[in-house]
Structures are given as C-alpha cells and as structure tokens.
Structure 1
Amino acid sequence: MNTFLNDFFNRIQYEKKDVTFEDIRTLQSQFAKHVPFENISIIQNENIDITFENLKRKIIDNRRGGVCYELNPLFYYALKELGFQVHMICGTVFNDGEIRLIGTHFATILQHNSQPYLIDVGFGSHHALQPLPFTGELVSSSTGEYRIQKKKTDLGEYAFEKYQNGTLEIGYDFFTSPIDETVLQNAQQIITHHEQSPFNKSPLLAKRTDDGYVTLTDKTYTVTIGNHKSKQTIDIQTFQALALSEFGITIK
C-alpha cells in the first residue's frame, strides 16, 4: 500500500488494508464521521489551489475538512488509487426547489461490473453512505432514502433525490461527463465570492456520528440522534471551544 492510501485510511480510521466494491460503503461511513463538512477556509479567506497535494495536506496532514469541491475530489483520488474506474462530475444544487449556483457541486461516478454508481461524500448531512446505482431504485440508508433518476434538462442528465418531508425532493441535477481540477478551481471562486453563495456568510461545521450527526455554527450547536434533534444557542467562545473539541479545528 502506498503512503497516500495508508494516510487516508488512518485519517478516516479504516482498519482493513484492502477495499472491494462492497467495502466502499464503509469507507463512505468512516469518511463522514471523521472528515467534517466545513467552510472555515472560505470564511477566513484561506483557500488553496485545488490539487491532489494541497487537498492531502489540508484534509489528511492537517486533519481539516472542507466543502464538496475538496471532500469529493480527495475521495475520488483514493478510489482511483485503489484501482476503481472513476471520474469526477459536476452538478447544480436545489434548495427548497430553487436553483443555487449552477455547476458548483461535485461528486464521483464509479463503474462496477459495467454499471455506473454515484458516490458523494460532500453534500452536507445528506450522506447516502453507499454507492447509488443509476437504476432509479430507491436505496435505504441510516440517513434516509435516496435514488438517482434519469432527467435530462439544461442542468443535467440525472437527478440526485432524497426522500424527505413526505416526498422525493431533488438535491441536485448533474451531468455524467468527466471534469478536472480546473472546474473545481472555478467553482471555488464562485462559492467564495458570489453573493448568493450559501457558504461565505457564516461558519458551518457538520459531521456524522454513530447514531446521527452534529452541526455547529457561530450561533448554534445541534445534535441529532435518530429523529430527535437538540439545538442550543451559543456564544463565540463556546463556538470556538466546540470547534476544537468536536471537530479538532482551531478557529482564529
């Protein structure tokens, strides 16, 4: 095993030394618990060039998290190094039915036994925690139910959908054509500077736990266990303390 994979496995506390297709769901689950979705670099104006070396340094060596254009590429690099047939793709997120910034979400498509699967470890708390087939079937997870639906529009060829609020809602539309780091870099500029970006206004940190997830902002701390949600208002000192104790991140 090369150094990158060994460091990656240590970062997410994955104990096996090999990975089959069936093991990918364990990789996703471990990644979701140990690598937070967080926008601190955006808020503190500490963005990096999106390259393999920089993502490894930030997320693995410095034990940080990131947003979709950082988390999904790192996971893609690991899958590629493991020998899987993968490529990165981009999509457009919907929020309450409204289109967010076009082409600024990213995920990975993996081919297994000549069948495509979507792998996404960078969509906030909406972790399917397993590869999603393109068959249109509903896939159940501890985080909810998901499916990939064929839907050709100006925003994509398929839709990532999650069952919530009593119905299947579109999370994002996406194209299946491969993209490279140049597209990621452009998206970073948009997410960092655009007035409609949801991630450049205030800090946000979130990660899975064994039985739910925790979410932290500079004003609230929320713990979700199953269907029970506990939310408390916090001050800036408590925010900084929780960022360090729960996420291992020092907030300046």
Structure 2
Amino acid sequence: MTFELGAYLNRLGLTGADPTSDRLDDLLKAQMSAIPFENVDPFLGSMPDLDHDAIWRKLVVERRGGYCLELNTLLGNALDALGVAKRAVLGRVRMGAPVGGPRSHLAWIVTAGGRDVLMDAGFGGPGAHGVVPLNPDVPHRVGARTFRIRGDDATGELVLERQESDGWLSLYGFDGAPVTDADIEASNVVCSRWHKSPFPSHLMLNLHRAGGRVSLFDRQVSVETPNGTKKWTVESLNALRDCLGDLFRLDLDEAVLAPTWSKLNAIGMATMRDHADGALAS
C-alpha cells in the first residue's frame, strides 16, 4: 500500500504532526481545509475505487477530493502511520430524523491523550470541522458551531448532533458493531448506486476555509464569510470550472467537467419544468 506521511502532510500544508488529541484536531482541520468533500465520480455514474493505492493517487497525487469512504480511509491511513489507536464506525445518517438509514457513513473513534474522540473528515457541510470528544451530552465547540454526542436508548446508538437555533439536529448515529472491509465495500455500493442515495443524483462539494465553509449543491454556491453568507447560481460550464478551481481547488479534466455540467444543466431544466407544472396546477 502506498502511503507516505511526508507527502500526505505536504498535501495538507503541514510540516509535522504528533499523535496527541490536540494535534489530531489540527490534523483533521488541515485535511478538511485542503481536501474537499466531492462526489463527482458517483454523480457521473462511477463507483469510487476504495483500494488504498487508488485513494492515494486520487486524493494526494491528483489532488482531487472524495466522499466519506475515501476521505476517511485516507485519514485512517494517516492515523496508522502516526501509530494512533483507532476503530472504524459505520454511521446511519439521520439529518434530523429519529432513526437513521443504512450503515453507510465511515468515521473513526480515536484514542489519544487519554480520551476517545470522534474523527470524521467526510460528512461534508453539516459535520464537525474538528474532533468531538465522546462525552455524552457535553456540548463541544468546533469553530462557530457546537456539537455533542448523545446516547439514544431506543436504538442503542451514540448520535452526533449539531446545535441549531431551534434545538439539536441529529446528524448520524453509530454503535459498537465491528466494521470489516466487506462492510465498507458494501457501503460504497449503497452510497454510489442505491436510488435513495443522494450521491448519484446531486453534485455536492464542501471545503472548510479560514473564513468559513464553502459549499456547492448542484448549481447553488454558498460561501461563508465573516460578514455573512454569499450565495449564487452557477450559470455556465466556464462558471462551473472557475467555481471548482477558485473555491474547491479542483482542476478537473474537460472529459470530467463537460458531462458534469451537462447533467447539472439537465437537473436545472427538470427543476424549472417541475416548478412550471406546479404553477399551472395551482
């Protein structure tokens, strides 16, 4: 397996890292600020290759991003290289629902500095931009947002939640069931192929920056700044190219960029037709 700690840290813009809880928070923040969450491959109908060498080539050498199974596999390899004790969890995504879906979201429970923390580089925009201690019901500040881990007696899961203005939003739940490579491969099929998964149907990108998070959902851009959030719609292939390069540091080949825009444009046209049909029916 290819993994060079120095090259990985260089990709993150770091010169070194120590296996302590404080430095692991720095490591996680650095990865989430350097390597974007992006689902271009499943959006275009391709199932991501979870072979560790393939992930290294895509995320480090080719400087692409990936979704949770890719991003957290890379993070797990870095933790191994640092000699950090970890175990995998497969979460059930809730996003406010009382129960989650299939066990398909990969994350890590890491033991360092005498405590267990949740490390997750791959939950996209809603997730924590840093480690979250496994202290049930104790709020933990991560940047401008507050998270907590809550025990759910009904499901036997621990649930990652984010504080909103109207209460706590459940993001995903996980339990202590062992996770095998076969489980992760099955999750990859579910995430990239299942008709109820969002990844084959919608383009999603997220990256954390010093001034706040930047996001793209289909053609809708959202950029957080100290002065508020700016939003706009991507209107052309050239605008998409500029958006991916300027905001997410992605330089996609034309063979990837063109079909991505074509599908996005088709989604936009279908949405416009749906709105028109709804207006006529009302």
- TM-score of the aligned structures, taking structure 2 as reference length: 0.81
**8 Å Cα contact 1:145-1:163 kept in structure 2:** yes
1:130–1:242 CA distance, 2 compared to 1 (3 A): closer
Deviations along 1:129-167, whole A, 9 cap, x unmatched? 33222222111121411111222444x521111111331
Find the counterpart in structure 1 of residue 83 from structure 2: 83
**8 Å Cα contact 2:17-2:24 kept in structure 1:** no
**8 Å Cα contact 2:92-2:104 kept in structure 1:** yes
Which has the higher Rg, Structure 1 or Structure 2?
Answer: 2
Q: Which residue type is aligned with residue 144 of structure 1?
A: R
Select the residue among 230, 249, 252 that pairs with 2:251: 249
1:180–1:53 CA distance, 2 compared to 1 (3 A): farther
Find the counterpart in structure 1 of residue 175 from structure 2: 175
**8 Å Cα contact 1:160-1:173 kept in structure 2:** yes
**8 Å Cα contact 2:3-2:77 kept in structure 1:** no
Give the distance between the partners of 1:102 and 1:167, measured in 2 at CA.
Answer: 25
Find the counterpart in structure 2 of residue 126 from structure 1: 126
Secondary structure of the corresponding residue to residue 198 of structure 1? coil
1:48–1:201 CA distance, 2 compared to 1 (3 A): closer
Find the counterpart in structure 1 of residue 92 from structure 2: 92
1:157–1:97 CA distance, 2 compared to 1 (3 A): closer
Find the counterpart in structure 2 of residue 24 from structure 1: 24
Secondary structure of the corresponding residue to residue 70 of structure 2? helix
**8 Å Cα contact 1:149-1:160 kept in structure 2:** yes
Q: Which residue type is aligned with residue 140 of structure 1?
A: R
Aligned residues between the structures:
250
Q: Which residue type is aligned with residue 139 of structure 1?
A: H
Find the counterpart in structure 1 of residue 63 from structure 2: 63
Deviations along 1:31-70, whole A, 9 cap, x unmatched? 1111101100111233333122121111111111111111
Q: Which residue type is aligned with residue 163 of structure 2?
A: Y
Q: Which residue type is aligned with residue 240 of structure 1?
A: R
Give the distance between the partners of 2:83 and 2:73, measured in 1 at CA.
Answer: 15
Give the distance between the partners of 1:50 and 1:39, measured in 2 at CA.
Answer: 14
Q: Which residue type is aligned with residue 188 of structure 1?
A: N
**8 Å Cα contact 1:109-1:117 kept in structure 2:** yes
Residue range with higher mean Cα deviation, 27-36 or 181-190: 181-190
1:103–1:135 CA distance, 2 compared to 1 (3 A): same
Structure 2 residue 150 is the aligned partner of structure 1 residue 149: yes
- TM-score of the aligned structures, taking structure 1 as reference length: 0.90
Deviations along 1:56-85, whole A, 9 cap, x unmatched? 111111111111111112111111210010
**8 Å Cα contact 1:92-1:100 kept in structure 2:** yes
**8 Å Cα contact 2:47-2:189 kept in structure 1:** no
Find the counterpart in structure 1 of residue 141 from structure 2: 140
1:93–1:227 CA distance, 2 compared to 1 (3 A): farther
Residue range with higher mean Cα deviation, 107-116 or 49-58: 107-116
Q: Which residue type is aligned with residue 142 of structure 1?
A: G
Find the counterpart in structure 2 of residue 14 from structure 1: 14
Identity %: 24
More helix by share: 2
More strand by share: 1
Find the counterpart in structure 1 of residue 280 from structure 2: none
